[in-house]
Each structure stands twice: as structure tokens, then as C-alpha cells.
Structure 1
């Protein structure tokens, strides 16, 4: 059975294959969870695979809607896209800019958010 257009455009993730993101066939811009290219507004997006490893470029602690503090970070990937997500593996206030992260095995982005974990909790060096 052939996948529907929605299935092709939607993000997928598993621990073995990493993340599936989209690249615009017109301007080559990489994006994640977009229906249109954020640069040229083309809908001609091609799915590509990323290993899923990225680096935190911004991190903050939020506790709205719940009484529990959680981390919300912007993560940059080598393929050229930035994605807002939750990073686990340390206290929410101890996620630092420059930390290497990877997808948490067993999370399903189709059912909700994509969650990342710290690759190395001892290292505070920039990855790229």
C-alpha cells in the first residue's frame, strides 16, 4: 500500500534510523515538521534521513500549564534545520548551550513531541 501525502510529509523517528526531515527541491532548505518550505513556500518537499544528533543552541526552563519545571530547547542539526524540543537527561536548568543531544529511543513523534536526551552529561564542549 502506497503512503499518503500526509505520511510522506510527516516526521518519523526511531532509534536505528534517526529522524526523517524534509528538504525543499527548489531551494534545498532543510526543515522539520513543515508542510511548506519556510524560505520559498514550495510544497515540493523531499524526505531525507538524519542520524538525529544535534547541538543545543538555546535552552530555557518552563513550567506553564503544569507545576513541574521542564526544559525547552532549540536544537540545530548538521543538515541545516533547527527544531524546538524537550531535552531530558539532566535537571531542566542544567541543559547547556553546546550540549550534544540525540533522540530518546522509543518515543513516537506521530503520537506527540520528539524528545531528546543528552549524549554526554560530563562534556561542555561545542560540537560544531
Structure 2
């Protein structure tokens, strides 16, 4: 069962948390590894994964091989320790590894989460 953009009973929402910006990840009850949308823990293989609400902050990481269809997706290492591929909302020159991002909208059915740049990235003369 995946929990992306869904509210769980008892989830606390802050005033700055708007509808549709909740991102849930999973934490293994045995080894405490965090993961995103898995059936088994990638470390110990346990099925005892509990959904938890992400803070929504992370850093863009290095993109390995990608297809033309996935050209606008970037891996984002979230503060809780899991990695999720996201669409990045920002100027193309600023989207690169090491830039801090914050969740703009959570994934709907069949869609990827959207993140926004946290700080302004200056032009570096390449454009």
C-alpha cells in the first residue's frame, strides 16, 4: 500500500501545509530504513513498513542514465534519507546536483512529486 499525497488518520497538518503537498514515505519497523513506494524493505526484506509524513525538503542528486521521456525528472535525496524522482520547478540553469529543494505538490495517481528550488541560483555565464 502506497501513501503518496494521502492523509492518514491522526496526521497533523501545519498551517503552511496546503492541500495536496503531503508526501508520505515508508520506514521499516525492524531496521528503520526509509524508502519510497516499496513493498519490501531494501535493506532487510521486511514487509513491516509504516507510512510517515515527510518534511518535504531535500537536495537534488546526480542523475545517472535517463531516457528522453524522463528528461525532466531528477533524483531528490530527502531529509529523511529516501530518494524520490521528482519534477523540478525552476529555471533550467539552476536545476543541478547539490541544489536544495522543497516539495511544491505531492504525487497524484500516476504522477511524480513536484519540488521547487529553495534559493535563487545565479547565472554562471553558461547561458
RMSD, matched Cα: 2.8
- Equivalent pairs, count: 111
Instruction: Give CA deviations for 1:52-81 in whole Å, capped at 9, x if unaligned.
Output: 11001124796724xxx9432111112111
Question: Which structure: greater strand fraction?
Answer: 1
Q: How is 1:93-108 mapped onto 2 (pairs within 5 angstroms)?
A: 94-105=94-105, 107-108=106-107
Pairing partner for 2:24 from 3, 20, 24: 20
Unaligned runs of 5+ in 1: 1-5, 124-128
Aligned to 2:83: 82
CA distance in 2, matches of 1:122, 1:21: 28
Q: Is 1:10 matched with 2:3?
A: yes
Q: Is 1:55 matched with 2:56?
A: no
Pairing partner for 1:42 from 21, 46, 49: 46
TM-score with structure 1 setting the length:
0.70
* TM-aligned CA deviation for residue 41 of structure 1: 1.4
Instruction: Give CA deviations for 1:11-56 in whole Å, capped at 9, x if unaligned.
Output: 2269716421100001100001112111111110111111111001
* TM-aligned CA deviation for residue 117 of structure 1: 1.6
Aligned to 2:112: 113
CA distance in 2, matches of 1:89, 1:29: 30
Q: 1:39 to 1:58 in 2, by over 3 A?
A: same
